[in-house]
Amino acid sequence: MHNYFVRWKALAAAMVAASAVAAAQQPAPQEKPQTAVELILRDSSGAQTRLAVPDLLALSPDRETTEAARTIGQVLWDDLNYEREFYMIPRDTYKSIPAAPSITTVPYDRWRELGADGVVIGTVQKVATGIRVELRLYNVRAQQSIFGREYTGSAANPRLYAHTMSDELHESQRSLRGVARTKLTFSSDRNREPVVGTVEKREVKEVYVADYDGANARRITINRTLNITPSWSPDGRSIAYTSYRTGVPDILISNIYAGTMETPSKGSGQNWLPVFSPDGKRIAFTSNRDGNPELYVMNRDGSDVRRLTNNPEIDTSPTFSPSGTQIAFASGRSGTPQVYVIGVDGAGLRRISQESYADRPTWSPAPYNEIAFTARTGPGFDIKILNIGTGETRQITFGEGTNESPAWSPNGRHLAFSSTRAGRLQIFTVDRDGRNLRQITREGNNQTPHWSQ
């Protein structure tokens, strides 16, 4: 009876969480293919192409449409700016350029004066099912439309139109997989709820997801306990994490759109820090089931458990290589925590870091053969990147606050990490070259980010 109740409660909690996400998740905008030939906009001199994205034109006078028009322009500018493939001309410099009366009448001379190579002109119109958004990229010099998209869908989240356009524009113009539609998951104490059943003053940490830019944050767990180290499944539909729901750490998987939950390790010892293999079929994790923190790999459903390490010191923090054949992890076997690599078959162990303390390796997606990790650099930590091919290590953060838990974006161009540089513990993103630092979270303390693939 007691068990039944607990299970029912957990299921109900998971369903509530899932429906909250499902409600936020609108159907992806439907797209009408353009017939116009798509051309590539590139500065012939080799300089960075200069783009402008003015506010979209609201073709309906209602508030929802006008706000969507403003939001989409700003978010699209931000999305394009994020990948640094184009030089994005600051939006306040073209406020004086009059809005085009239609999507086909573009004041090319004014844009040329501004030094724009390309300009994205768009319209938003209210329709029965929501809004219709049309966007075109014009080559200012050639005075022609070279890329265009038309979307219809819900007006609930206009940012999604901008994200979709940004990803498609990057794909078409630069063969680049942008991150505008990716999401971050992380653990946060922002609800400030006390943990159930302790005498000490302790606050819960729950798992959240948010857009890559921090917008649309949603809570995933309602366990009233510690829920940390979330990790996406490759298809972006599930999150595995460490939960203290039963009083001790164990691995839970929340299927965030289906509203279901899985407990793959089924009571075998204490288990934490799960990560999915690149094909989503296996999970690597740390467990004390044999009396000491060691690394294990199991199928997603908990079957076929294999132990990877066997030594009296700590082995933890696994990450799969892009091919899924190797695992990097942290081990204290040399006396201090260092990063090691081992085959998923347990063969070929080698140490790859030479730090005073190194943890939380995270293997970058191809084509980069690199591992980002947390390194002790003083009283606190910084993020470093090790190139496996050359063996060289470069530092990404430099002692501003303490910086931990790096996680790669799916295109390998950015890292998310946690940092105290702004006071409390917050999620930031930074590019692989250390530039383009952005604060993603602002509410409560936020930690252990992971980027959807």
Contacts with other proteins by CB under 8 A lie at 198-202, 205, 226, 228-229, 242, 244, 247-249, 270, 272-273, 286, 288, 291-293, 314-317, 330, 332, 336-337, 357, 359-360, 374, 376, 379-381, 402, 404-405, 418, 447-448
Strands in 112-235 per DSSP E: 118-127, 130-139, 144-153, 183-188, 206-211, 218-219, 227-232
Q: How far apart are CA 254 and CA 241, in angstroms?
A: 8
108: burial class by Cβ within 10 Å (0-12, 13-18, 19+)?
A: middle
Smallest gap from Cβ 400 to other proteins, in A, equals: 15
Considering beta carbons, is residue 167 or 355 the nearer one to other proteins?
355
Closest CA to 166 of 154, 182, 152: 182
Instruction: Tell me which H or E stretch contains 167.
Output: helix 159-174
Q: Measured between alpha carbons, how far is 24 from 214 in angstroms, rounded to an integer? A: 14
CB of 377 to other proteins, least distance (A): 12
Phi-psi region of 236 (alpha: psi -120 to 50; beta: other; left: phi over 0): left
The distance of closest approach from Cβ of residue 388 to other proteins in the complex, given in angstroms and rounded to an integer, is: 20
Residue with Cβ nearer other proteins (183 or 205)? 205
Shortest approach of other proteins to residue 428 CB, angstroms?
15
* Whole-Å CA distances, 359 to 28, 287, 352, 403, 405: 38, 17, 12, 12, 8
Which two tokens mark 175? 């063969």
CB of 383 to other proteins, least distance (A): 11
CB of 448 to other proteins, least distance (A): 6
Task: Considering the complex, state which of residue 160 and residue 220 has its C-beta at the smaller distance from other proteins.
Answer: 220
Nearer to other proteins by Cβ, of 277 and 338: the residue is 338
Alpha-carbon gap, residue 99 to 55, rounded angstroms? 8
Residue 119 or residue 372: which is nearer to other proteins going by CB?
Answer: 372
Task: Identify which of residues 139 and 227 has a Cβ nearer to other proteins in the complex.
Answer: 227
Closest distance to other proteins from the beta carbon of 103 (Å): 49
DSSP 40: -
Which is nearer to other proteins, 68 or 226 (by Cβ)?
Answer: 226
